[in-house]
Amino acid sequence: MTNTVTTSTEDRRLLAEVHRWARIQGWRAGGWRGYQNAQFEDKATVTVRPNEAGFQVWRKDADALFFTGQPTEYPTATVREAIDILVAIGILPPAFSSAYRLGRSDGAFIANVETNPDRKCAACGATSGLTLLPGNPLTGIANQWLCWGTCKAATR
């Protein structure tokens, strides 16, 4: 049910959010290893370099002057997937993950409907015995309520 395929418009919006966050956090373009989490290499502890297959990450201790050795490779198929992995490996904060956003969206929707007397089945209009069908903010599919068991609309 959860669809994490993103549109290119959504990709651009996500990337803009990530770039905004990174700039505020002090990330800078750091040469051929990509973006680093400090203005100068001696103060950085991680670099992220996007490539054709996904992205690469170099790490070092804060007191090491230079990044050395081979990067860790993270193959990804989509921008959404890359961002979820960057969250999973602790580079981006959880608020960027699709799981966090789905949860927040569902929470806001449930809070809204529970104070809304107009809650009803999206197919038949029944107002009791409903279940929440989660949508996906990444694809623009909205949350909706449907009959939990047999919907009257299905027998027409």
Each residue 104-143 as x (binds Zn ion by CB under 5 A) or -, in order, gives -----------------x-xx-x-----------------
The alpha helices in 25-92, defined as continuous H runs, are 79-88
Nearer to Zn ion, 38 or 126 (CB): 126
Residues contacting 90, CB < 8 A, separation 6+: none
Helix (H) or strand (E) holding 133: strand 130-133
- By the 8 A CB rule, do 98 and 74 touch? no
Q: Pick from 46, 85, 86, 147 the residue near Zn ion by CB under 5 A.
A: 147
Nearer to Zn ion, 92 or 146 (CB): 146
Min dist. Cβ of residue 113 to Zn ion (A): 15
Min dist. Cβ of residue 112 to Zn ion (A): 20
Min dist. Cβ of residue 146 to Zn ion (A): 6
Nearer to Zn ion, 86 or 147 (CB): 147
Helix (H) or strand (E) holding 100: helix 98-114
Tokens of residue 77, six digits: 């198929």
